[in-house]
């Protein structure tokens, strides 16, 4: 009987010590968790004493801590990017507005000649159109990325679309001194695309070349297997290989001083539309010549 009592006593002591150890380990883990929370750290909670069930629990806690830390990191990156985008939007809107207000003030001068007045009004008109295009681009890109820009698949005569656009841009490129070379293969099959989306893509590419590219410029449209390829190439001596990898990024600009000529929206819209219509889009820079290459699905 004495031996039984001794054994029960020893068992109670061992169990009590084990319980105290486990409680101490759990309190330590709780303190670690509070410290990590206070520091905003991404560390892990560790258990001082072995306990299978508690270790499973802490493994899940550590997984959740890692996920929360990842969310915080991504949130900070998104917030930083949002601030940068707001700054860029503000700058891009302010530039034409400042110009418009400046010329409107000049127009108040009663001593202006009719020729000067017409010239100033032409500048105001041009800046207003640029501002309108910019605001439209902001809105369209927001709708595209939010899935609110409806696209319908149809048979699109890409050769006809491009030929008409080139005719409408002819005077603009001529006035800018562009040496143009156009190669549109005959009998190009229709492509599967949204008619408005295809027109917007081609328009943005021509506008981008006109605003930011240099002569000479080559435009090609040809078949390549099961795809139709459109390739726009122009001289770009100021563009570097690193810039060429980011031309489709929102608000990207190779103009580090942001002089107002680059908004970084036109090509972002090109990429988003091309991908949504089942195409591909790539940028290349070879020997100072910048090329944007799109592939389109043939209509079947």
Each residue's pLDDT tens digit, 116-133: 889 989 988 888 887 887
Stretch among 22-36, 69-83, 249-263 having the lowest mean pLDDT: 249-263
Cis peptide preceding 258, ω within 30 of 0:
no
Q: What is the pLDDT of residue 258?
A: 35
The pair phi, psi for residue 112, each rounded to 5°, is -65, 140
Provide the sign of the torsion angle of the four alpha carbons 275, 206, 166, 122, taken in this order. positive
Q: What is the pLDDT of residue 46?
A: 62
Among all chains, which residue has been given the structure tokens 């959740």?
64
pLDDT in tens, 149-170: 778 889 999 999 999 999 999 9
The pair phi, psi for residue 181, each rounded to 5°, is -130, 120
Burial 191-205 (b: 16+ CB within 10 A, else e): bbbbeebbbbbbbbb
Q: Which of 237, 234, 236 is nearest to 217 (CA)?
A: 234
* Summary mean pLDDT of the chain: 78
Asked whether 28 and 5 are in contact (CB, 8 A), the reply is no
Q: What is the pLDDT of residue 75?
A: 76
pLDDT at 14 over 80: no
Q: What is the pLDDT of residue 151?
A: 83
Q: What tokens appear for 123 in the block?
A: 């500048």
- Residue 205 or 52, more confident: 205
Q: What is the pLDDT of residue 233?
A: 94
pLDDT at 267 over 70: yes
Q: What is the pLDDT of residue 43?
A: 64
- Give the CB-side neighbour count of residue 202, counting CA atoms within 13 A: 28
Could you give the dihedral angle defined by the CA atoms of residues 72, 78, 83 and 86, in that order, rounded to the nearest 10 degrees?
Answer: -150
pLDDT at 259 over 70: no
Asked whether 283 and 252 are in contact (CB, 8 A), the reply is no
Mean pLDDT, residues 261-265 taken together: 54
DSSP code per residue over 127-161: HHHHHHHHHHHHHHHHHHHTT-S----EEE-HHHH
- Report the first-to-last Cα separation within the chain, whole angstroms: 94
pLDDT in tens, 173-202: 999 999 999 999 988 999 999 998 899 899
Q: What is the pLDDT of residue 38?
A: 63
Q: Which residues pair with 186 in a beta bridge?
A: none
Distances (CA, A) of 209 to 188, 214, 248, 262: 24, 7, 14, 12
- Please tell me whether residue 68 adopts helix, strand or coil conformation: helix
């Amino acid at each position: 009987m004495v031996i039984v009592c001794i054994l029960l006593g020893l068992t109670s002591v061992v169990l009590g010590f084990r319980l105290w150890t486990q409680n101490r380990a759990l309190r330590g883990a709780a303190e670690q968790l509070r410290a990590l929370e206070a520091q905003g750290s991404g560390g892990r909670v560790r258990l001082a004493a072995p306990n299978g069930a508690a270790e499973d629990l802490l493994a899940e806690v550590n997984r959740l801590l890692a996920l929360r830390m990842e969310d915080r990191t991504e949130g900070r990156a998104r917030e930083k990017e949002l601030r940068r985008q707001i700054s860029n939007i503000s700058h891009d809107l302010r530039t034409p507005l400042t110009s418009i207000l400046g010329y409107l003030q000049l127009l108040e001068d009663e001593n202006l000649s009719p020729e000067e007045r017409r010239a100033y009004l032409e500048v105001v008109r041009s800046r207003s159109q640029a501002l309108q295009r910019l605001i439209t681009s902001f809105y369209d890109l927001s709708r595209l990325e939010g899935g609110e820009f409806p696209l319908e698949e149809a048979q699109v005569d890409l050769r006809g679309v491009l030929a008409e656009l080139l005719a409408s841009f002819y005077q603009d490129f001529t006035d800018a001194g562009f040496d143009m070379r156009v190669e549109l293969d005959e009998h190009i099959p229709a492509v599967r695309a949204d008619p408005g989306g295809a027109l917007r893509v081609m328009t943005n590419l021509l506008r981008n070349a006109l605003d930011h590219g240099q002569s000479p410029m080559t435009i090609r449209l040809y078949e390549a297997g099961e795809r139709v390829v459109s390739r726009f190439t122009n001289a770009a001596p100021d563009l570097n290989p690193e810039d060429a990898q980011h031309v489709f990024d929102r608000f990207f600009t190779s103009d580090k001083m942001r002089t107002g000529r680059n908004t970084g929206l036109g090509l972002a819209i090109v990429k988003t539309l091309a991908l949504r219509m089942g195409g591909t889009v790539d940028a290349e820079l070879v020997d100072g010549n910048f090329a944007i290459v799109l592939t389109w699905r043939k209509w079947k």
